Amino acid sequence: MYRYDPKSLIADEFINHEEIVETLAYADAHKDDLKLVDEILNKAEERKGLSHRDASVLLACEDPERVQRMYALAKQIKKDFYGNRIVIFAPLYLSNYCVNGCVYCPYHMKNKHIPRKKLTQEEVEREVIALQDMGHKRLAIEAGEDPKMNPIEYILECINTIYSIKHKNGAIRRVNVNIAATTVENYRKLKEAGIGTYILFQETYHKESYLQLHPTGPKHDYNYHTEAMDRAMQGGIDDVGLGVLFGLEMYRYEFAGLLMHAEHLEAVHGVGPHTISMPRIKHADDIDPSAFDNSISDEIFAKLCALVRIAVPYTGMIISTRESQAVREMVIPLGVSQISGASRTSVGGYAEDERPHDTEQFDVSDQRSLDEVVRWLMELGYIPSFCTACYREGRTGDRFMSLCKAGQIQNCCHPNALLTLKEFLMDYASEETKAIGEKLIEAELYNIPKDKVREVCKDHLDKIAQGLRDFRF
Ligand code: SAM
């Protein structure tokens, strides 16, 4: 039997099954202890985060008044730490060749009726131009796991191609990477290629279920997968993104596991995850989500988002187009800092006029254009941001966390959001979006606390209007 140890590098010790079982029992035993719940909420108000045990008690607590307090606090933390900015990105599917047997994913090896496709460098270029023409500046590249078809050299070549394309005023300035767990050496190569965040979803922290859900292929190795973030950090990548695929296992188990993973990274590497993604299982070719009986309601999903915000205030939270516009509207105020927009989850999908479905990884619920997504965010009072400044200024890992903790986001991320929004308005927006955006920028300039920063920002905005690009704080 393994002993729980957040500092251990062995998966079974830092994501310890017995510790999770005990945590859930503790949460059940204390969920109606309103005095304790209030104490935990008071602790959460200090905005220093919560342990997996405390956060699990809140998740189990159903007292309506306390649940409302959780939502209110999540909203407040989001406001204080992230302001009203929402960073926008798009996924780019490079290849759906895959040797794994993940039972929830249509790319699984045995699926014979999905066409297999891998982008050539010319096709990558076409996709990137289509994405730049929408206004995207940040991508997350996605690929199945296939050492022969998609070796690391192929991924590196694609990253290189993506960064090299300058089309009109467009440029992809940050490439995040969502590929299968790999070696320290390969992570080092990704770092050298200039990636932003390395993202890897755990899918489930429940080892027994994990082994059943990933019956064949390299991904079957639970420990190798779970220890991937440590290897990534050893390889020099200090921005890593966690996530579980909600619906596969019991959400309370996953939530405790997710927070234990964050605690482990902090304990070992001195910096927690840069982001946490919140995907839910979706219908896809060959996949019926109702086959997984742990699906969660929108209400539970919202509570999970709020509690992630409260438990790890310095970690960004990502919601993809797996969620509908309505669900996105419900969870964004609860702490989401990044969303994808105008996504196509098929290999080569962006260069097509019509959304293709044959090679899609999952059905996209929010199918609006980027212009529509930007306008919608602004109408809801958010500032859509295409900012990539932190990572290009070397503010990654603990340096980004220090910026957050020093409360400097409003003097840095806020003007950067306005500058990148201005670029979007000048180069890609419809007239209607532009009109709303210009007004928003005008008003939001006054929310930059430092006079000097505000003046410099104004000057940069003028220069963008004159045709110059890529200013940043
Ligand atoms: N193949 C890599 C890996 O195994 O990590 C790359 C990730 S894959 C392209 C991106 C993510 O999509 C997976 O980690 C999984 O959580 C998610 N996914 C797979 N099938 C899905 C489905 N039917 N609905 C929603 N998300 C799904």
β partners of residue 242: 276
Which of 259, 267, 233 is CA-nearest to residue 5? 267
> Measured in angstroms, how far is the CA atom of residue 105 from the centroid of ligand 1?
6
Which ligand 1 atom is the nearest neighbour of the CA of 145? 1
> Measured in angstroms, how far is the CA atom of residue 306 from the centroid of ligand 1?
23
- Cα pseudo-dihedral 55, 59, 60, 62, rounded to 10: 130
Per the CB < 8 A criterion, the answer to whether 456 and 450 are in contact is: no
Give residue-wise pLDDT tens across range 190-247: 999 999 999 999 999 999 999 999 999 999 999 999 999 999 999 999 999 999 999 9
Widest CA span in the chain: 66
Residue 357 is predicted with a pLDDT of: 87
Residue 406 is predicted with a pLDDT of: 78
Higher pLDDT, 90 or 1: 90
> Measured in angstroms, how far is the CA atom of residue 427 from the centroid of ligand 1?
33
> Measured in angstroms, how far is the CA atom of residue 243 from the centroid of ligand 1?
10
> Measured in angstroms, how far is the CA atom of residue 242 from the centroid of ligand 1?
12
Which ligand 1 atom is the nearest neighbour of the CA of 289? 23
β partners of residue 2: none
Which ligand 1 atom is the nearest neighbour of the CA of 181? 5
Is the per-residue pLDDT at 185 higher than 80?
A: yes
DSSP state of 115: P
Q: In one letter, which amino acid is 82? A: Y
Give residue-wise pLDDT tens across range 438-452: 999 999 999 999 999
Which ligand 1 atom is the nearest neighbour of the CA of 201? 14
Give residue-wise pLDDT tens across range 44-68: 999 999 999 999 999 999 999 999 9
Helix (H) / strand (E) element for 145: namely none
- Cα pseudo-dihedral 118, 121, 122, 124, rounded to 10: 70
Residues in contact with ligand 1 by the CB-under-6-Å rule are 104-105, 142, 144-145, 178-180, 200-201, 203, 219, 245, 279, 281-282, 284, 287, 322, 361-362
Give residue-wise pLDDT tens across range 398-418: 887 787 777 778 889 999 999
- Which residues touch 252 (CB under 8 Å, ≥6 apart)? 24, 27, 56, 59, 60
Residue 246 is predicted with a pLDDT of: 97
Ligand 1 mutation pick, 97, 100, 245, max ligand atoms within 8 A of CB:
245
> Measured in angstroms, how far is the CA atom of residue 197 from the centroid of ligand 1?
16
Which ligand 1 atom is the nearest neighbour of the CA of 284? 23
Phi, psi (degrees; rounded to nearest 5) at 383: -105, 110
β partners of residue 338: 87, 318
Ligand 1 mutation pick, 361, 362, 364, max ligand atoms within 8 A of CB:
361
User: What value does the mean pLDDT of the chain take?
Assistant: 96
Q: Is 198 helix (H, G, I), strand (E, B) or coil?
A: strand
Residue 203 is predicted with a pLDDT of: 98
Count of Cβ atoms closer than 10 Å to residue 181 Cβ: 20
Class of residue 304 by CB neighbours under 10 A (exposed 0-12, middle 13-18, buried 19+)? buried
Residue 396 is predicted with a pLDDT of: 86
Query: For the residues 263-269, what does the mean pLDDT come to?
Result: 98
**CA angle 272-277-282, nearest 5°?**
155
How far is it, in rounded angstroms, from Cα 279 to Cα 114?
22
> Measured in angstroms, how far is the CA atom of residue 424 from the centroid of ligand 1?
30
β partners of residue 177: 141, 198
Q: Is the pTM of this model over 0.95?
A: yes
